[in-house]
């Protein structure tokens, strides 16, 4: 009976994870539909609100300091941002082109997709202080990624394996190889509603 109880709890917890990931993807899709890229998607910038009517947690995207209009790079936030070197942990969620400090960096949706893939990885693992690439120094992260060194996904139940495939499609090294937000949101919706074919 304990084993049955643990399996049921694990499945319920996975459903909550999928629901949160789907909710975040809906928010990112909304931003991209408005021609905005967030550019700072990570767990610290996702707030959770309890919805009493639905009795569930609703994710809300926050911290739009880095957000920009797609293509133009215009922002309504103050454009000069300085952070001390001790606060570089957020760079772990940068897409490889941005991490590499390309001189001509385009503010495009694939940057958010990469970060969203890492955020989904965090949700899938659901461990405190389990940062992506936590054992790789920031200065070495780009080189680490160019050799296809990706984070290992947790063992997912069979019915959720397509989530792992989706995450792998989100954190591709080249921006043009990544899924788009419509594919991500649709896949998460199907997964949450019980259809595992993206």
The answer to whether position 165 is within a domain reads: yes
Question: CA–CA separation, 138 vs 28, rounded Å?
Answer: 25
For the segment 159-173, the average pLDDT, to the nearest whole number, is 90
The answer to whether position 123 is within a domain reads: yes
Q: Write down the mean pLDDT value for the chain.
A: 81
The answer to whether position 160 is within a domain reads: yes
Contact 167, 121 (CB under 8 A): yes
- The CATH number linked to 156 is 1.10.510.10
Predicted local distance difference test score (pLDDT) of residue 84: 46
Residues 25-36 pLDDT 10s: 999 999 999 999
The answer to whether position 112 is within a domain reads: yes
The answer to whether position 152 is within a domain reads: yes
Predicted local distance difference test score (pLDDT) of residue 5: 42
Predicted local distance difference test score (pLDDT) of residue 41: 93
The answer to whether position 198 is within a domain reads: no
Question: CA–CA separation, 160 vs 18, rounded Å?
Answer: 9
Residues 84-108 pLDDT 10s: 445 566 788 888 888 776 655 667 8
The answer to whether position 80 is within a domain reads: no
For the segment 181-185, the average pLDDT, to the nearest whole number, is 97
In the predicted structure, residue 154 carries a pLDDT above the cut 60: yes
- Judging by DSSP bridges, how do beta strands 46-51 and 56-61 pair with one another? antiparallel
Q: How confident is the model at residue 153 (pLDDT cuts 50, 70, 90)?
A: confident
Containing structural domain, residue 150: 2-75+87-193
In the predicted structure, residue 1 carries a pLDDT above the cut 50: no
* DSSP letter for each residue of the chain: -HHHHHHHHHHHHHHHHHHHHHHHHHHHHHHHHTTEE-S--SGGGEEEEEETTTTEEEEEE---TT-EETTT---SS-S-----GGGGGGGGGS-HHHHTT-SS----HHHHHHHHHHHHHHHHH--TT--TTTTS-HHHHHHHHHTT--PPPPPPPGGGHHHHHHHHHHS-SSGGGSPPHHHHHHHHHHHHHT----
The answer to whether position 59 is within a domain reads: yes
Question: CA–CA separation, 133 vs 183, rounded Å?
Answer: 25
Predicted local distance difference test score (pLDDT) of residue 22: 96
pTM of the model: 0.83
Residues in Cβ contact with 97 at an 8 Å cutoff, skipping those fewer than 6 apart = 105, 111, 175
For the segment 118-125, the average pLDDT, to the nearest whole number, is 89
The total number of structural domains that make up the chain:
1
In the predicted structure, residue 180 carries a pLDDT above the cut 80: yes
């Amino acid at each position: 009976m304990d084993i049955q109880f643990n399996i049921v709890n694990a499945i319920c917890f996975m459903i909550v994870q999928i629901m949160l990931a789907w909710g975040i993807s809906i928010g990112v899709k909304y931003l991209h539909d408005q021609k905005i890229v967030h550019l700072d998607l990570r767990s610290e910038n996702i707030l959770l609100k309890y919805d009493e009517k639905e009795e569930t947690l609703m994710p809300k995207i926050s911290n739009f300091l880095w957000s920009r209009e797609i293509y133009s790079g215009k922002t309504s936030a103050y454009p000069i941002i300085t952070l001390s070197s001790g606060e570089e942990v957020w760079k772990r969620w940068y897409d490889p082109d941005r991490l590499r400090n390309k001189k001509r960096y385009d503010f495009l949706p694939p940057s958010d997709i990469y970060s969203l893939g890492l955020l989904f990885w965090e949700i899938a693992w659901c461990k405190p202080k389990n940062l992506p690439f936590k054992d790789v120094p920031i200065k070495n992260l780009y080189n680490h990624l160019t050799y296809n060194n990706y984070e290992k996904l947790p063992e997912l139940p069979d019915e959720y394996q397509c989530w792992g495939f989706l995450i792998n499609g989100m954190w591709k090294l080249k921006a043009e190889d990544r899924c788009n937000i419509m594919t991500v949101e649709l896949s998460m919706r199907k997964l949450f509603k019980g259809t595992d074919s993206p």
